[in-house]
Amino acid sequence: MSALLEVRNLETFYGPIMAIRGVSLEVNKGEVVTVLGANGAGKTTLLKTISGIMDPEKGQVLFEGEEIQGREPHQIVKRGIVQVPEGREVFPLLTVEENLALGAYTRSDKAEIARDRDLVFSYFPILAERRRQEAGTLSGGQQQMLAIGRGLMLRPKIMLLDEPSLGLSPLLTQEIFTILRRLNADEGVTMMVVEQNAAVALDLADRGYVMELGRIVMSDSAERLAASEDIQSFYLGHANEGARGERRWKKRKTWR
Amino acid sequence: MTGLPQQLLKGIRVNAVAGQRPVHIDGHTTVPALLRARCQENGAATAHREKDLGIWQAYSWTDYLTHARHIGLGLRALGLQRGDVISILSEDNKEWMYCDMAAQCMGAVSSGVYTTDSASQLAYLVNDSGSKFLFVENEEQLDKFLEVADQMPSLVKVIIFDPEGLHDFAHPKCLFLSDLYDLGRRHDDEALFNAEIDATKAGDLAVLIYTSGTTGQPKGVMLTQENILAGMEASLYGLPFEKRAEQLCFLPLCHILERIVSLYTPLIVSSTVNFAESPETVFDNLREVSPHGFVAVPRVWEKVYSRVTIMAQEATLIGRWAFGQAVKAGRARAEYTIEGRPVPALVALRYRIWDALVLANLRRLLGMDRLKQGLTGAAPISPDLLRWYHAIGVPLYEGWGMSETTGVGSINLPRANKAGSIGQPVPGIQLRIAPDGEIQLRGLNVFSGYLNKPDKTAEAFTDDGWMRTGDVGRIDNQGFVTITGRMKDIIITAGGKNVTPAEIESRLKFSPFISDAVVIGDRRKYLTCLIMIDQENVEKFAQDNKVPFGDFRSLCRAQPVVDLIRREVEAVNKEFARVEQIKDFRLIDVLLTAEDEELTATMKLKRATVEKRHKALIDAMY
């Protein structure tokens, strides 16, 4: 089976700094794949390279079997890859409806667009209530919903979500991830979710990769990742209290 | 001193003929006496440096002695007696050094524990040595003690170096190093301290070195003051640097190599020791310090080489060309220098040009610009790598020693060098090859026995008093020794053929893609091999050849990687006879770290553990 999205030996630089040092991964149709990693691991750079905002130095990005690395972002969007950027980045002075309309910018079938908008509203009822409100006046959680909704308006083949939980309360995070799960289950939306919040991400995802310093150090099914000792102590915060009951140090990571 | 003829060697007075009793350095026959003399002589000069919050801080020779005295007298106040053992569980730092010396000054014995050892291994080492005091670096190491606190009845007190994160901590057996210093200051008595130093005799036990134990439990190698002095005397002959030279300390001090290089060598020539911040920062520290002497294991030299190669490949076209030309010029010259032959004028000129243009900068970049010569030991190194270092102007020589021989045995020197051999026996040491091929040694540096293991001690010596090294080797007519294998590891295949796996393994290890290998085949039909790949170089290979991989496991499973290793194995096979061919191999797809039992502290695979842990992989090959 060939994957929907396949990344091979990707290397991306910021000037002289190598942010991605050879990453290979794949996402199959209908799957939710999560990429975990701390600050500076290269997760966002990875998404940006896939969506064409950054160009890789080496390596390939294959989408439906075709190489798309180095293409312009708008061409990549047209193929059905949508990135929901980190920190929402909705258009603050446009209304909710206008933001959603922009999401469907590349499409022209009005009736279908209207149907998709209603679909978005059915998943995010709060957006329907506030459809005429300026996006900048929405709460953080609502803006995140809007950003996801805007992404859905393209009917993407794959959604790249960059830290959807960033800056949200645990309750809101739960809510958004519940909706993401439904979107995946009911609408079959394929997703690649980059997250620092490993608990919710592993709960949602089928498979996961762990990135560190621009490399993948671990890859496995979400359940097995969640059960791994390193993930538990470094990402899920399960501390082994040690002999004194107040251990501060962490054992070295082995990623196995 | 007695009537033995004396000589001045590099400004140090020693016996004219090495290896004779009494062994002394500038008239001192024990480490503590020599330490006291050097500290008094050098006074306010810098003895060592350590980084504090990122800034190098210097400590004088006077500080050195004062700290050792306070620790020693503090321990005495807590009940330390002559002959007692202390254990040190810490990464390298100045406190390690102070504690080791404090123990020796007070007539006690010091024993190092690797920070990668587990709590149960710590308990074993403390109990086997009967340690009365344990020094731990920080809360991480302290937790190991707490985990097994009730299993170590001999311990009186545990002293913690770093109090960070422990301000609420209280335990009847534990105190902080600052408390020990206070105690030492309260009981300060220079006359008593000096008396203890003077009471130490050459035959007294000085340190215990636990051998990594590739088979069975670790054994405590007992080294006396005389053993260490003999080791120091022998190493003086090969010492490339002089007074005030800078050194970098980064290998574990528990290991005999770093112990003799960083703790005892400075006492010979009053050199300055710089402690690397951590094993991860060695290369940065190397650049900052730019030492005059650098002793490392092959792994470190390989890493430096890999870094430079990768850097060169990623340089501009001109940069790559220039680097290639420079190395070529260096290699041409190395052909001569490596064997100590005079360099023809033209070759020398060409080298000088490229040296000025490229190589000098490279050495500065690496922190090797002041390095007169580098030394490698503790594991076999590829002769190609030796040549490469000679080519870039860092003459690298291979030496050999064991814990049992106080770290010295044989060495290659600029005037007597043969790449691929372990050199000629150091002065003061006699070396012979037994009829069965075993290398055997005799000398004042040879240990007195394994602690608590009289049977193992008996096995270690021949009837006529020579030490069995357990290594099989040969010696050529110029006296250069070459190791070909380990006695114990000799494999007898089901066909009845004897094979020394070490020879095949070290050939495999010379491949940049293979970090270590274990050849298997005892009582089997044919030979097979488990291979640990070199992560960095294989990842580079995969990147360059567009081999997709995720984590380490998928890297090991990628077919092109397996094919790459197969080519390496086949290349090695060509050099060996038919019975010594490796028929099949498997890659160990777990990234092993020093904490893993499969590896020794010097990152060598332990045959027995590997065979046990990866039995499934092995069985799959038969």
CB B1 within 8 A of CB B24: yes
Find tokens 């243009």 and name the residue. Answer: B357
- Give the up-direction half-sphere exposure of residue B130: CA atoms within 13 A in the CB hemisphere: 8
Q: What is the pLDDT of residues A23-75, one digit of tens each?
A: 999 999 999 999 998 888 899 999 999 999 999 998 999 999 999 998 999 99
CB B419 within 8 A of CB B399: no
Reading phi first (left if > 0) and then psi (alpha if -120 to 50, else beta), residue B474 is in beta
Task: Please report, rounded to a whole number, the percentage of residues in chain A having pLDDT higher than 90.
Answer: 72
Element (DSSP H or E) covering residue B621: none
Q: What is the pLDDT of residues B459-499, one digit of tens each?
A: 999 999 999 998 989 999 999 999 988 888 888 888 888 88
Helix, coil or strand: residue B611: helix
Q: What is the pLDDT of residue A132?
A: 94
Domain B295-446+453-486 coded CATH 3.40.50.12780: yes
What whole-number distance in Å separates Cα of residue B93 and Cα of residue B99? 10
Cβ distance of B548 and A209 shorter than 8 Å: no
Per the CATH hierarchy, to which homologous superfamily does domain B31-200+241-291 belong?
ANL, N-terminal domain (3.40.50.12780)
Q: Say what angle helices B535-544 and B559-573 make with each other, to 10 degrees.
A: 120
Average pLDDT, chain A: 90
What whole-number distance in Å separates Cα of residue A199 and Cα of residue A177? 11
Helix, coil or strand: residue B432: strand
Task: Report chain B residues whose CB lies below 8 A from the CB of A11.
Answer: 543
As beta bridge partners, residue B393 has none
Cβ distance of B543 and A11 shorter than 8 Å: yes
What whole-number distance in Å separates Cα of residue B8 and Cα of residue B11? 5
Q: How many C-beta neighbours within 10 Å does residue A139 have?
A: 13
Q: Of B370, B397, B580, B388, which Cα lies nearest the Cα of B492?
A: B580
Task: Report chain B residues whose CB lies below 8 A from the CB of A254.
Answer: 591, 593, 595
Question: In this complex, is the C-beta atom of B188 within 8 Å of any C-beta atom belonging to chain A?
Answer: no
C-alpha angle A69-A73-A79 in degrees, rounded to nearest 5? 80
Q: What is the pLDDT of residue B40?
A: 96
The region of weakest confidence among A228-237, B265-274, B300-309 is: A228-237
CB B458 within 8 A of CB B464: no
Task: Report chain B residues whose CB lies below 8 A from the CB of A10.
Answer: none
What whole-number distance in Å separates Cα of residue B238 and Cα of residue B275? 23
The region of weakest confidence among A106-110, B11-15, B135-139 is: A106-110
Q: What is the pLDDT of residue B65?
A: 97
Q: What is the pLDDT of residues A64-74, one digit of tens each?
A: 999 999 899 99
Give the pair of three-digit tokens for residue B168.
């609420």
Q: What is the pLDDT of residue B79?
A: 96
Would you say how long chain B is, in residues? 622
Q: Of B519, B522, B517, which Cα lies nearest the Cα of B491?
A: B522
Task: Report chain A residues whose CB lies below 8 A from the CB of B149.
Answer: 243
Find tokens 């080294």 and name the residue. Answer: B223
Helix, coil or strand: residue A134: strand
pLDDT at A256 over 80: no
What whole-number distance in Å separates Cα of residue B29 and Cα of residue B41? 17
Fold of B491-619: GMP Synthetase; Chain A, domain 3 (3.30.300)
Q: Where are the domains of chain B?
A: 31-200+241-291, 295-446+453-486, 491-619
Helix, coil or strand: residue B498: strand
Q: Of B223, B291, B292, which Cα lies nearest the Cα of B260?
A: B223
Check residues B484 and B150 and name the one with the higher pLDDT: B150
Cβ distance of A247 and B549 shorter than 8 Å: no
Put simply, the chain B residues between 135 and 174 with a CB less than 8 A from any chain A CB are 138-140, 142-143, 146-147, 149, 165, 168-169
Q: Are strands B272-275 and B46-52 parallel, antiparallel or unpaired?
A: parallel
What whole-number distance in Å separates Cα of residue B475 and Cα of residue B422? 10
Query: How would residue A243 be classed by pLDDT, with cut points 50, 70 and 90?
Result: low
Q: Of B158, B156, B123, B114, which Cα lies nearest the Cα of B139?
A: B158
Q: Of A119, A115, A125, A117, which Cα lies nearest the Cα of A186?
A: A119
Rounded to whole angstroms, what are the CA distances from A39 to A194, B327, B392? 11, 40, 39
Question: In this complex, is the C-beta atom of B576 within 8 Å of any C-beta atom belonging to chain A?
Answer: no
Helices (H), chain A: 43-50, 73-78, 96-103, 110-123, 125-129, 140-152, 170-187, 198-204, 222-227, 229-234
What whole-number distance in Å separates Cα of residue A213 and Cα of residue A22? 11
pLDDT average, residue stretch B364-372? 93
C-alpha angle B230-B231-B232 in degrees, rounded to nearest 5? 90
Q: What is the pLDDT of residue B187?
A: 95
The set of residues, in sequence order, having a beta carbon less than 8 Å from that of A50 and lying 6+ positions away, is A5, A7, A61, A76, A81, A83, A160, A192
Q: Are strands B133-136 and B157-160 parallel, antiparallel or unpaired?
A: parallel
Q: What is the pLDDT of residue B214?
A: 57
Distance of CA B149 to the CA centre of its chain: 30
In chain A, the N- to C-terminal Cα span, in Å, equals 26
CB A224 within 8 A of CB A230: no
- Give the up-direction half-sphere exposure of residue B612: CA atoms within 13 A in the CB hemisphere: 10
In chain B, the N- to C-terminal Cα span, in Å, equals 65
Task: Evaluate the CA torsion angle A200, A202, A203, A204 in order and state its sign.
Answer: positive
pLDDT at B240 over 80: no
pLDDT at A241 over 70: no
Cβ distance of B143 and A247 shorter than 8 Å: yes
ipTM: 0.76
Question: In this complex, is the C-beta atom of B593 within 8 Å of any C-beta atom belonging to chain A?
Answer: yes
Residue of B nearest to A209 (CA): B550
Query: How would residue A136 be classed by pLDDT, with cut points 50, 70 and 90?
Result: very high
CB B491 within 8 A of CB B522: yes
Q: What is the pLDDT of residue B3?
A: 78
CB B470 within 8 A of CB B482: no
What whole-number distance in Å separates Cα of residue B15 and Cα of residue B4? 7
- Cβ burial, residue A74 (10 Å; 0-12/13-18/19+): exposed
Q: Render B105-118 in DSSP notation, one character per residue.
A: HTT-EEEEE-TTS-
The helix, strand and coil proportions of chain B, stated in percent and rounded to the nearest 5, come to: 40, 20, 35
Amino acid letter, B198: D
Cβ distance of A217 and B548 shorter than 8 Å: no
Query: How would residue B559 be classed by pLDDT, with cut points 50, 70 and 90?
Result: very high
Q: Render B355-416 in DSSP notation, one character per residue.
A: IIIIIHHHHHHHT-TT-SEEEE-SS---HHHHHHHHHTT--EEEEE--GGGTT-SEE-BTTB
* Shortest Cα–Cα distance, A6 to chain B (Å): 10
Amino acid letter, B47: A
Strand intervals (E) in B108-241: 109-113, 133-136, 157-160, 174-176, 205-210, 220-224
Amino acid letter, A232: Q
C-alpha angle B79-B85-B87 in degrees, rounded to nearest 5? 105
Same fold, B295-446+453-486 and B491-619: no
CB B206 within 8 A of CB B34: no
What whole-number distance in Å separates Cα of residue B87 and Cα of residue B316? 52
The region of weakest confidence among A23-37, B152-166, B586-600 is: B586-600
When CB atoms are compared, the residue of A9, A58, A248 closest to B139 is A248
Cβ distance of A256 and B590 shorter than 8 Å: yes
Q: Of B264, B273, B269, B272, which Cα lies nearest the Cα of B101?
A: B264
* Shortest Cα–Cα distance, A177 to chain B (Å): 26
When CB atoms are compared, the residue of B149, B546, B590 closest to A8 is B546
Query: Is the previous residue joined to B291 through a cis bond, with omega within 30 degrees of 0?
Result: no
Task: Report chain A residues whose CB lies below 8 A from the CB of B165.
Answer: 248-249
Nearest-Å Rg of the Cα atoms of chain B is 25
| Domains of chain A from N-terminus onward | 5-234 (3.40.50.300)
What whole-number distance in Å separates Cα of residue B422 and Cα of residue B419? 8
Reading phi first (left if > 0) and then psi (alpha if -120 to 50, else beta), residue A197 is in beta
